[in-house]
Structure 1
Amino acid sequence: MNWRAVLSEAGRNLASGTTRAAVFALALFAVAGGLAVADARSVVALEQRAAEFVASGASVRTLVAEGMTDGRSCERLGGVEGVRAAGALAAADPLVLEAMPANPLPAYEVTPGMAGVLGVHSVSADGAWLPADLARTLGVRAGETLATTTGPLTVAGTYRYPEDGRDSRLRHAVLVPRPAAGTFDECWAEVWPLSESTDALVYAAAEVRPGTTSNMTIGQLNNRFGASFDGRAEFTGRATRFGLPACALAGLVLGFVAVRLRRLEYAGALHVGVSRRALLGSTVVETAAWSLAAFALAAGALVFAVTVGNPADRLEVYLIGIRGPLAAACAAQAGAVAALLLVREKHLFGYFKNR
């Protein structure tokens, strides 16, 4: 039997319903597609938790070393792998507005690197930074000036600082950038991903002097979401990580069952002289038809699953999830071929009796 005859026979089996293609395609889609979607949603949820952790400021480590924090050393931490940005901070004299002389605003001197830590949206190189909520309360925008008792103060930029559990000192404070030369009281470093080695490196910003009694401590800007977030461990330990082998097993079983149910037909074909090679060819084609249909359905469902929630790494999440349906489609072929190889012509009458 040539390949055209094989394809023709497979086509007739599919069209007539002999293959039960629709049943097995839907069954494989239900298992592989469901597991793939569940795994994708698990990864998306993990990514969203990580984004929430970072956005809350929980990844910002704060070294408190009053009068011993070297500004330049702190700034240089921003160039270390694993540290996104770093800046030093020190308390300054309160700022008195002419419109509010009885309510001075707390002020801090900061190094330029603090802009990266706080996400400052700056429109000018000179001036102070204000929290966005405070700027709205004062009715001022970036680029405008505030009248203070010491003269006009330009608002160079603003930054978001919500009341979400983070250190509240900067929520209503004015930050005045100055060069990193000299000493400060604190060093803030945004560390991601978190690691004990990077935390230990933050201590390098402290300038220890003989005879000093000040304590040095490393804290966290916001501890609402816990002290750490080990994304790698949570990813490798997620409950849906077994989706890939489960999909492969499902494909193997369904492929085997699809052929095993037709063992009488295959044994009869062998009995009348059809070669096993021809049967193998038609089996591969028929199995490919329903397994690839299931794969296409799962791939479509997965597109929707990785889009909901607008994750940043859609492609990566999709590639993780699609492995399950792909493995299921390949395993279905293996199961079908294995079942066909177990069919024997000499068992024809036994198959007939047990049909």
Structure 2
Amino acid sequence: MKKQPATSESGIWLSSDLAADLGIDVRPKVKLDTASGGSVSVAGQYEYPEDGRLPVLAYNAVSEVPATGFFDACWIEIWPENPALDELLTFPIRSNGTISPDETPKIQQLNASEGTAFDGSQRLERIPSWFFLVASVVSGALIGFALIWTRRLQLASTLHAGVHKISLSVQMTTETAIFALPAAALSLGLGLLVAMLDNPGSPWPAYFSGSGVIAAGIAAALVATAGATLSISESRLFRYFKSR
């Protein structure tokens, strides 16, 4: 409930819908006449949107009072969710032992339009992650291929000197792994940190989802490096030299 104060004086708060229907311009020192012949100051108005929440305060005038005595409802805001909350909410309840079925205390959520519980794992499973996986694979493959293609003249010269192509491919893949694996380790560490920040549940579903994307990119870079090296031909040495 978002308040929009109009004055520093005490008084009642009107819902924005009620203020609009009554044609009340909420501003400092506005007073409303009461049925008893008196008047009451308007402290401001509050927004109560129709977003699925219970309409208990959608069309009301409310006032702030000291937290003493008895009230007909107890509201609590908590995050992350705690299974012990329902039991905790029963502690302030007092009765004279003659509660009718209509007066039985009920625990309900103010806004249940998005469900009554939050399951991060299920939400994560519904997020389409194929785009990130494809982007990681394509990016890794392009980087691996570019690293070899920019050295095509050097590699063709190495083949001309008698180095076996398989050995050269293993060497280039190893060189790519030397910088790719530390980068992957750093990314995985940062990914775990991000998965743990402000996460009330287990970080592992989100972490494993992101780790798969990182691993796919690294694997694509290594495979592209090996494939690009095998595509280098000694017979094209003069062509590589002319196009350098």
Tell me the residue number matched to 2:184.
none
Aligned amino acid, residue 208 of structure 1: R
Q: Distance in 1 between matches of 2:86 and 2:53?
A: 19
Question: Structure 1 stretches of 5 or more lacking a match?
Answer: 1-117, 289-319, 350-355
Equivalent residue letter for 1:203: T
Output the TM-score relative to the length of structure 2.
0.55
Which residue does 1:89 correspond to in 2? Answer: none
Match of 2:71 in 1: 184
Spell out, residue by residue over 1:270-318, the C-alpha distance to the aligned partner (whole angstroms, 9 max, x if none): 12368959x959x97xxx9xxxxxxxxxxxxxxxxxxxxxxxxxxxxxx
The answer to whether the 8 Å contact 2:12/2:61 transfers is yes
SS in 1 for 2:17: helix
CA 1:140/1:175 → structure 2, altered by over 3 Å: closer, same or farther? same
User: What aligned pairs does 1:84-123 form with structure 2 within 5 A after superposition?
Assistant: 118-122=1-5, 123=7
Amino acid across the alignment from 1:230: F
Distance 1:257 1:177 in 2: 68
Give the number of the structure with larger relative contact order, counting CA–CA contacts within 8 Å between residues 6 or more apart: 1
The residue that corresponds to 1:175 in the other structure is 62
The answer on whether the counterparts of 2:3 and 2:44 sit within 8 Å (CA) in structure 1 is: yes
Alignment partner of 1:220 out of 84, 106, 109: 109
Distance 1:247 1:169, change over 3 A: closer
- C-alpha distance 160-271 of structure 1, shift in aligned 2 (>3 A): same
The 5-angstrom pairing of residues 31-46 of structure 1 reads: none
Flag the 1:227–1:341 CA change in 2: closer, same or farther, 3 A.
closer
- The 5 Å alignment of 1:69-88 reads none
The letter for the 2-side match of 1:158 is Q
Q: Give distance in 2, aligned partners of 1:243 and 1:328.
A: 12
C-alpha separation in 2, matches of 1:227 and 1:270: 64
Shift of 1:152: 1.2
Matched with 1:140 is 25
Counterpart-to-counterpart distance in 2, 1:147 and 1:327: 70
Letter matched to residue 147 of structure 1: D
Moved more, 244-253 or 159-168: 244-253
Q: Secondary structure of 2:57's match?
A: helix
Report the alpha carbon displacement of residue 181 of structure 1 after superposing the two structures with TM: 0.5
**Structure 2, unpaired ranges of 5+:** 181-206, 236-244
**1:187 match: secondary structure:** coil
How do residues 174-323 of structure 1 correspond to structure 2 at under 5 angstroms? 174-204=61-91, 206-209=92-95, 211-213=97-99, 214-223=103-112, 225-228=113-116, 230=118, 232-241=120-129, 243-251=131-139, 253=141, 266=155, 269-272=158-161, 280=172
Tell me how far 1:237 sits from its aligned partner.
1.5
One-letter amino acid of the counterpart of residue 129, structure 1: W
- Tell me, what secondary structure is at the counterpart of 1:219? coil
- Equivalent pairs counted in the alignment come to 190
Name the CA shift for 1:253/1:140 in 2 (closer, same or farther; >3 Å). closer
**Are 2:141 and 2:220, in contact at CA under 8 Å, matched by a contact in 1?**
yes
Residues in 2 aligned to 1:234 and 1:163: alpha-carbon distance in whole angstroms: 26
Amino acid corresponding to residue 168 of structure 1 in structure 2: P
Native 8 Å contact 1:132 1:159 kept in 2: yes
1:152 corresponds to 2:36: no
RMSD after superposition: 4.7
Higher strand share: 1
